[in-house]
Amino acid sequence: MTDADLSASDTPERRRAAWMAAAQGGDRLAYERVLGDSLSLIRAAARRQGVSVDQLDDVVQETLLTVHKVRHTYDPSRSYDAWLSAIAGRRAIDALRSHGRRGRRELHDEHAYDTVAELDDATAATERDQEARRLREAIASLPPGQREAVEQLGLKEHSLAEAAAQTGRQTGALKVNLHRAMKALRARFHGDP
């Protein structure tokens, strides 16, 4: 697809729909454009669900990953914005639920509050956020099998059996993928081979 295919009179929504249709056919440029153009829509959908500003990036990230997995479900004859907003809304609800669960676990851990001296240190918090973001991006850039292993075993803390049941992969393959993923992440962050 070229820019010539999209006339200047096209609305932004029609432009995004055309880009996504081209992306379904494998057009990388159109895909990166439509994802870049979708960020404000994702943030708007997340805010409508009541997601706080500090969680917006998580929702954006999760939504982009979901869009990548389910891009075949988009029907170019229908609204791209409605399709994307529905996914973003769902991911926003997931983030709120997960945040609520984490909050309940952490609120009563007074010892942690006492021992973490830099809790209110904005600089340290920003650095932690940046590190977390770098890690999320590094995980997202892993090959699908390795990323799946890290998500299931590392982030969601599923057992091997649960992860195998959910992904349909052998436990051995999951272990190998996790090992390779950890090696790749170590190499990326510490320069280890």
Partner 1 sequence: MVESRLPESLIHSLGAQLTPVRRLPPPWLRTAGWLLAVAVIATGLLLHYGTEHMLRRWAEEPDIALAGMGAVVTAVCAAWAAFALGVPGRSPNWAWLPLPGLLLWVGASGLGCLRDLVAPIAPVASAHQAGDCLVFIISFSVPLSLLLIALLRRACSLRPVRTAVMIGLASAAASSALLEICHGFAVAATDLLMHALAVGIVVAANAAMGGRLLQPSLR
Contact 184, 190 (CB under 8 A): no
Cα separation of the two ends of the chain: 40
| Residue 166 lies near partner 1 (rule: CB under 8 A) | yes
Residues 122-151 that bind partner 1 (CB under 8 A): 133, 136-137, 140-141, 144
Kindly write out the interface string for residues 33-72 of this chain, putting x where it contacts partner 1 by CB under 8 A and - elsewhere: --xx--xx--x---------x--xx--xx--xxx-xxxxx
Structure tokens at 124: 């340290």
Contact 161, 175 (CB under 8 A): no
Cα 180 to Cα 5, 122, 147: the distances in Å are 42, 35, 10
**Near partner 1 by CB under 8 A: residue from 15, 17, 31, 95:** 31
Footprint of partner 1 on this chain (CB under 8 A)? Answer: 23-26, 28, 31-32, 35-36, 39-40, 43, 53, 56-57, 60-61, 64-66, 68-75, 78-79, 82-87, 89-90, 94, 133, 136-137, 140-141, 144, 152, 166
